[in-house]
Structure 1
């Protein structure tokens, strides 16, 4: 992965500018989202629809700020943090960021393994190894062919994910009234708060915040202030908006499918059980598409997660390790989880909770940096934008405090 800046070229069309946000959006439809959203719908019905909508809106703001930072400054978020901190702080910051990246990878590999078991009845450990191997091939596409081919592959897989999870809602549409009722913010006990935190942790993901700044910088370069930068920032807003609408629709479809089809059924607290229930209720085609969507989610998201981990390391401590070695190191925890016989669906949900703890460490520097006029110049955040971004950080941090309390006392 190279961070060498190239001179920006005047793009021929708006479509040619789209792509980075769709790669980052893979983080929002990963297997952790699947587990959290299906669990929330199966257990609480339409209660947490509002969490999906709120998380997606927050993610859109955060991802645009990240992309803007990279495009305006020519720095990824990890590089910008490095510029503003001393060595001990950088090392501590890198350690937590890499821990979050490994938790991310655990979710993606476990999800891919579950999908391969559903599709081909493969043992979970073998499925995890295959997921890791395929993700390595996808990473080699980026390493050897560059960012644009990688974007095309990942965007194609995002389309497969969308079809896989939207199919069940199209086959059996949920009640419109119940869906609208779920937009009213409320909880129903400690478990609903736990799932809400997991859903937010699976949506506003730290590694996607770090990654998007580098993706935007590598795609668009670091244009000087002027018409080209204005056009690129406008295109970035559209890129983020389209990607977030797609990701949000997929996430919402997961929850609505579970609320409409799985609630009240027994043995749907695992992805395997949910898959079986969908097959019984909606037929084998819907179940097959669900499993294919889950597989595409695991394969694409683990590749993007490993890419983000490399960007974090290079940006913060200026160290690079061979791609294969990094893939093997981050694969080990997931394989251990699978080999130990731990319930993989529960492991997915808990991994999303772990991710939520890393969110403030990504959001706070991002808001501070993009609100710094000396760094951002005329593209500094508007006061309202900064206020909204700080509100997002406070809401997520508050949920984390509640989550810690529930975990300790539960």
Structure 2
């Protein structure tokens, strides 16, 4: 049965800036078997960049440094949740030809749509803070320049990456994928170089348990950094008109490869997140990062105990993470504004505005890692506002047609929503008690 949702007649689609369109299904299929199949992959890897952004680096390094392998189960669970959520988002775009913000605008009362947009913009600000600050810190660690100056340089690098978006769908996907590989290579190298991993301790960390308020806060930050609200909105836009498929059989074929795309992209992101935590747990075992930011301490310890190459790989991975996720976040912000409000501003103008809070934080001297972790807690509070409409819409046969959720998929989505809401409610209680 469908939930009682107020509806308004759908409005004509706005002409999209940098539309994610490859072409017609049959035209792309005529190019050859392997070129066709490779063309079907890509959107999940773009969305997956949001799952290994500097916020993830900060929370995973902090969690490993403070709690060892205790929160391994949170990292694994959060990535499983992310895989389900992003699959639902991508499927919504494929089945309806409309993205999640557009559906929210047309299928909810106007006041509700405005509320969703306001919270989405707050989430976007927290996302920009994490991504921009992380990229600037990576640049500072790599070249030793002051963090505020690194922030200015990061601004120019971010604009350069955004220029790839003007060259079309596939060029942007490939540019983001190249940066993603840099992140993977950097953290993989460090994980191998540090060594000293404890498989038994990591396996013990798969048993769900928390120890005190600090671990609860870190668990919330990990979930907020992993199940990213802006990526939920974006993924539906990446698939909504990417390949034009008119026949039901063509859409079912695309859905099959959409599952493969999601499985590959988010398994890779999950492995990187787990690698970050294990790297930190091994690096800080028996010690503490002390008063330093955990990211700064990790970079320093890598240089001291392993060598300059390991420290450089860490800084390059952090920089690539920030730059790639910043460009993806900017595109997501454009999707949200255009979908909720039918308003559009140039991507470069939006990026210039959203850089301001991050530059202020970088110039204020606040601890970057602590700021990044706090931003991820803010993101955790924004997750239900994206997930609840997504689960409701994807269970509606009148919207989804033959691609509607199976009951077990809807139930799993509802469980994810319930877990996140319960976690946020508990965090509020802790904050009230601590105030």
> SS at the partner of 1:38?
helix
* Cα distance, 1:3 vs structure 2: 5.0
Moved over 6 A (4+): none
Computed over aligned residues only, the root mean square deviation of the Cα atoms, in angstroms, reads 1.4
Q: Distance in 2 between matches of 1:5 and 1:166?
A: 33
Write the mapping of 1:176-325 to structure 2, written as runs, cut at 5 A: 176-221=199-244, 223-267=245-289, 270=293, 271-325=295-349
In 1, are the aligned partners of 2:394 and 2:400 still within 8 Å (CA)?
Answer: yes
In 1, are the aligned partners of 2:18 and 2:169 still within 8 Å (CA)?
Answer: no
Partner of 2:65: 42
In 2, are the aligned partners of 1:113 and 1:128 still within 8 Å (CA)?
Answer: yes
Instruction: String of CA shifts for 1:83-107, please: whole Å, max 9, x gaps.
Output: 1123322222111101101110000
* Cα distance, 1:62 vs structure 2: 0.5
Match of 1:163 among 173, 181, 185: 185
**2:25 equivalent to 1:9:** yes
In 2, are the aligned partners of 1:19 and 1:151 still within 8 Å (CA)?
Answer: yes
Partner of 2:48: 25
In 2, are the aligned partners of 1:43 and 1:263 still within 8 Å (CA)?
Answer: no
Partner of 1:79: 102
Structure 1 unaligned segments of length 5 or more: list them.
none
Q: Distance in 2 between matches of 1:161 and 1:105?
A: 18
> SS at the partner of 1:89?
helix
In 1, are the aligned partners of 2:20 and 2:239 still within 8 Å (CA)?
Answer: no
Partner of 2:170: 148
> SS at the partner of 1:47?
coil
Write the mapping of 1:361-400 to structure 2, written as runs, cut at 5 A: 361-400=385-424
Match of 2:124 among 91, 96, 101: 101
Distance 1:262 1:5, change over 3 A: closer
Q: Distance in 2 between matches of 1:204 and 1:101?
A: 14
Q: How many residues align?
A: 408
Q: Distance in 2 between matches of 1:340 and 1:359?
A: 29
* Cα distance, 1:54 vs structure 2: 0.3
* Cα distance, 1:2 vs structure 2: 4.6
> SS at the partner of 1:115?
helix
In 2, are the aligned partners of 1:20 and 1:219 still within 8 Å (CA)?
Answer: no
In 1, are the aligned partners of 2:41 and 2:258 still within 8 Å (CA)?
Answer: yes
* Cα distance, 1:6 vs structure 2: 7.7
Q: Distance in 1 between matches of 2:86 and 2:232?
A: 6
Partner of 1:59: 82
Structure 2 unaligned segments of length 5 or more: list them.
1-16
